[in-house]
Amino acid sequence: MCLPDNTVFSVKYLTLCKMRWGDNVAVSEEQRKPAHVVVIGNEKGGTGKSTIAMHMAVAFANAGGRVGVIDLDPRQRSVTRYVENRVETVRKTNIILPVPTVYTMAGDGIEELAELALAAIHNEDLLIIDTPGAATELSRAGHVFADTLITPLNDSFVDLDVLGRVEPETYRVLHPSHYAELVWDTRKERARQGRMPLRWFVLRNRLSHLDARNKRAMEDAISALAERIGFTPVAGLGERVIYRELFLSGLTLLDLRRPGVAIDLSVSHIAARQELRALFTAIGFTDVIPNS
């Protein structure tokens, strides 16, 4: 049976699943490509970073990939707890769920992060680094590993300040923020190391009640910033209570069709899955979520 062993979770489990599903022939260690690294970051909490990290990890694991997650938020530990809740659900029920590997930091040393990241890059197909909503040294160090950076913003001018200051009337960019400078430094560091350019996506997340005029204003301001500091704007997820409800069971929107899951798939959940699929497609992860 394709069930995770209670101690060694995902790598072994996903390998077993890959063999069982027959969609991937075993690849020898020497032939393995290093993991693609996605960093989910900004310097503000509550924008949906950990929620997106978990959904991305599960989507990828469901598609048969090896996924690892590094949680750089020792205070909240949201993504770690999300995965722990998932493990608990697997233990308590008969629901079959792939579980992403969490690479846990024992302390907050940058050397330890480098060691964990290198191990994960070697072991996994995808490594997701979830960062705290604050400018810590560790978060800064985590950004250097990013091949793709995803910055979710709440859809408000308060959050836009995380990226740069814009003139209220014209949305002319006055100056980039500290975070935009951090990304700029990351880009320079990558170039110095001769690595591929960083792909940076900014998501307007938790889209909800803004009226049409305000939405338009946000779009204009984001376009101006995108051009100035060099990111691709992408539509994120809508504001929906389901995300809060799923956390405790460690489930994601992508698990609701699994046998044994006692949550009915509503119209709102299907719309949310479509948003997730559109988001992953926009950042280049096509076909990770099957059509509803």
Q: Which residues bind ligand ADP (CB under 6 A)?
A: 45-51, 78, 133, 206, 237, 239-240, 243-244, 247
Give the one entry of Mg ion, ligand ADP, none that residue 91 binds, where binding means its C-beta sits below a cut-off of 5 to 8 angstroms depending on kind. Answer: none
CB within 8 Å of 178: residues ≥ 6 apart? 43, 135
| Binding at 148: pick from Mg ion, ligand ADP, none (beta carbon under 5-8 Å per type) | none
Our CB check for Mg ion shows the closer of 41 and 98 to be: 41
Residues 199, 77: Cα–Cα separation, whole Å: 26
Minimum Å gap between C-beta 32 and Mg ion is 29
How is residue 26 annotated by DSSP? -
CB within 8 Å of 82: residues ≥ 6 apart: 50, 54, 247, 250
First to last CA, the chain: 26
Q: Which does 192 bind (CB under 5 to 8 A by kind): Mg ion, ligand ADP, none?
A: none
Extract the tokens encoding 239: 């504001």
* In the chain, alpha helices (H): 10-21, 49-62, 78-92, 110-123, 137-143, 157-160, 178-192, 212-229, 242-247, 267-282
CB of 68 to ligand ADP, least distance (A): 18
Residue 184's binding partner among Mg ion, ligand ADP, none (Cβ under 5 to 8 angstroms by kind) is none
Report the nearest approach of ligand ADP to the CB of residue 83 (Å).
13
Q: Among residues 40 and 61, whose Cβ is nearest to Mg ion?
A: 40
What is the residue type of 276?
Answer: L
Residue 18 binds what, of ligand ADP, Mg ion, none (CB under 5 to 8 Å, by partner type)? none
Q: Are residues 199 and 40 in contact, defined by beta-carbon separation less than 8 angstroms?
A: no
Q: How far is CA 116 from the centre of its chain?
A: 18
239 binds, among ligand ADP, Mg ion, none (CB under 5 to 8 A by kind): ligand ADP
| Minimum separation from the CB atom of position 237 to ligand ADP (A) | 4
Question: Which of ligand ADP, Mg ion, none is residue 47 near (CB under 5 to 8 Å by kind)?
Answer: ligand ADP
CB of 2 to Mg ion, least distance (A): 30
CB-nearer residue toward Mg ion: 49 or 143: 49
Angle, in degrees to the nearest 10, between helices 178-192 and 212-229: 40
Greatest alpha-carbon span in the chain: 61
* Contact (Cβ atoms closer than 8 angstroms) between residue 38 and residue 147: yes
We find the least distance from the C-beta atom of residue 265 to ligand ADP, in angstroms, to be 17
Return the number of the residue (199 or 240) whose C-beta is nearest ligand ADP.
240
Whole-number Å distance between alpha carbons of 153 and 48: 8
Of 91 and 244, which CB lies nearer to ligand ADP in the complex structure? 244
Strands 67-71 and 126-130: parallel
Q: How far is the CB of 69 from ligand ADP (least distance, A)?
A: 12
Nearer to ligand ADP, 78 or 89 (CB): 78
Query: For residue 259, which amino acid is it?
Result: P
The contact set with Mg ion (CB under 5 A) reads 49-50, 78
Is 99 or 129 the residue whose CB approaches Mg ion more closely? 129
